[in-house]
Structure 1
Amino acid sequence: MTTFKAFKLKPYILQALDKQHFRQPTPIQQKLIPLVMAGKSVIGQSETGSGKTHAFLLPIFNRLDPKNEAVQVVITAPSRELATQLYQAAKQIADFSPDAIHVHCYVGGTDKQRQVDKLHHHQPQIVIGTPGRILDLINSQALKSFTATTFVVDEADMTMDMGFLNEVDKIAATFSEELQMLVFSATIPQKLEPFLRKYMKHPVVEKLKPASVISPTIKNWLISTRGRDKNHLIYRLAKSTNPYLELIFANTKQRVDEIADYLSTQGLKVAKISGELTPRERKRTMRQIKHLEFQYIVATDLAARGIDIQGISHVINTELPKDQEFFIHRVGRTGRNGLSGIAITIYEPGQEGAIADLEKLGITFQPKRLKGGQLVDGYDRNRRFKRQQTKKTLSPDMVGMVKKQKKQHKPGYKKRIHSAIKKDSQQKQRRQHRQSLQEQRRKNKR
């Protein structure tokens, strides 16, 4: 069984891992750590939560020269929250080094002038931050990042989705041609490929496919609106689930506002995450969520993708996303680190085809319905079709009788129809039996 000692990491790195109770490398770490250690440029594709962060941080620290006080590594992340998480993970390792290793984090919404003043006195060895702020500091000639020999683009697909690829492109252009470039992403969209070809020559591509698109610890429940008021349905679901922390997704900022406002008026503690929040509001909201001041969070896909919120027990898809990939990202916010989770998807009449497409990905839905404020097993949405497929064929006379009885709607008509159908079936069986006997007699006479 492989352990981190097999990679011949420096003692202080092993101590840092032991402190965090990391004993065995994940599959992506087993594949990528030796490659990054050897100085190879790598494209690593694996699902969120697979251990990508330490797959590049561990070999980066192992190759770092503490005596060289110039910038050696630049790491970008598409959001302030993800950049902060990377910074904290790097600091946990750096703090165990016998020699001082300077790791700095640069994100939007922070005091730029203060950062510039500090950079004029001292350059960090590892730079972590959002593309916009890092590029701004480079353009201000405060950050001397051109000395870096390793450039990491974390969450590349999200970087592109959130519109930061142009900034990453400009940062990459400031490095030498001998640069080691590491790109990590949950998916590699086709639109990302021109950027990769521009800066990466013969990279090693490692794609680690998950065992299933959805973690087996997640239950997927399916709820039909049945034409009911959707906001009220969302409220009833939110109340009935009694979550530790529930993430509620909508497709647009307008719907986020509508849902959040409605739930708030019903007395629920609701946080709202959208692109309209200022950096200060966003930071305050995230701090409140961390301190469990809210039980429900309403967000759009792009606003939530750059945020890693711990403890999400439930996810509600208030509407189906246009992209199946967004559905997988949404549901994947719960059931993490081996914990169980529940994802509830609301669909409207006429959207059965979209649900069927998700099922083709291997997602299994359990139909549910609300009854007395509780979620109970629902009906198979295809039950009518299946019933039609197995329904017995009636004689024309019986069809006429059924139609006639349905129109009359007299008491007990359902029982009479059932009895008549049974009688008709028995008569058919008798006729078939008689015909069979007659046929047998003819054969015997011959």
Structure 2
Amino acid sequence: MNEFPSPAVSIVGRHNSGKTTLIEKLIAELVRRGFDVGSVKHHSHVGFDIDIPGKDSWRHRHAGASETVIACPGQMACIKTTEGELECADIVASMPGHDVVVVEGYRKSGLPTIEIMRAGNAADARTAEVFAEGARKGWALGTDFTQFGRNTIPHAAGVDPADHPVAPKLSAEEEAEFARQHPDHADISNKMPTASTVAVVTDIPAASEAAGIYGIPAFGINDVASLADYIERTFARPHVSLVIQAGGESRRMGRSKATVPFCGRPLICRLIERLSPVADELIITTNEPENLAFLHAEYPQLHIQLVCDAVNERGALPGLYTALRAARNPYVAVVACDMVLASPSLVVAEALEMTRTGADAVVPVNKHGFEPFHAIYRRMGCLPAVREALNEGEKRAQVFFSRVNVCEFPQRKVLAAEPMGGCFMNANTPDELAALERIIQDRIECE
């Protein structure tokens, strides 16, 4: 299973806004595009049960089991007793490996939220009116719009919010009087757009107007394709091609590093088993594909590609060019096959940093300099720059860094991702390989 944490976005709205219908259509559209989608539904009622009373699993639960798993071929469900209510972030964290998780509800989770407002729903129409008025007044997104909405109704509090830089607060007596006079506004309390609102789905002109003022996109209530485009572009996890650079003959090792025995198995097997859980595509660059053909039978489920050098030159930069050229995904993680402590967690951290910063490359850096062969590259940003450097006769890997946006990944972040360290230790000689094998054995990693 892919170990990448799943990005998530929440669809929120008032009762009868059409959240579930929108989410159903959105999930179907994203799946049609090839995305792996998870979903979370916030249920406001205590004690719901998804099991059927009288069935064996139901009887297990009612006998006192704190957790019951119901499993059959191709499907599994878990019902578990928890203390209180789990945070949405904890639920999403327990669902790694999805391209995106679509959450229904959890307005206060801190997730980016997409607000739905439907003209056919009276509460939505009132919310859109208050939302638009607040936008026109220049109130920041995330202001207490409910107070603003109440005070814009005649005689609600006897003040003009335009005269106040922040929303005037009502006294307890004014709150009670407002609730008595305007029960129709109760449904929007605590259900207004917030600072986490990133988009609006609506057929109400006032809501679209407000979104425009705030600089966030607004989508038609039935324009699921455009909403899916936005989620794909903004939130969905970019797929990662992971390239293990195995090269070929190593003069100092005296034989191919890929097939040299390590902990009783070919070294390349260790790298594959460590790194494949974070790979959407696994590529091995090698000049001895016939000697590595056994990997197809060893790992048939991984669909490993064995790729020879794209240019007839040896060197770090030609190897990187081959990796970028062979990859099909937007992010390309490149790891040398002799880095026996290569870290899948570091690959994940680098990919998340690339998404966060928009960089073309995220490259670890320490007192020895850059570590370009445990780094991640944006294919479309780096491939032209690497090709240009090759055409100029360059062979060093980092020579093209000045031509792209490089995010340096410092040692403290490396250790946060991989506390055990040692990610960049490599073996160039039999003695170095033996020393690394002893380190692995000390860590009780060798079976």
Instruction: Calculate the TM-score normalised by the size of structure 1.
Output: 0.23
Q: Rg: which structure is higher?
A: 1
Instruction: Calculate the TM-score normalised by the size of structure 2.
Output: 0.23
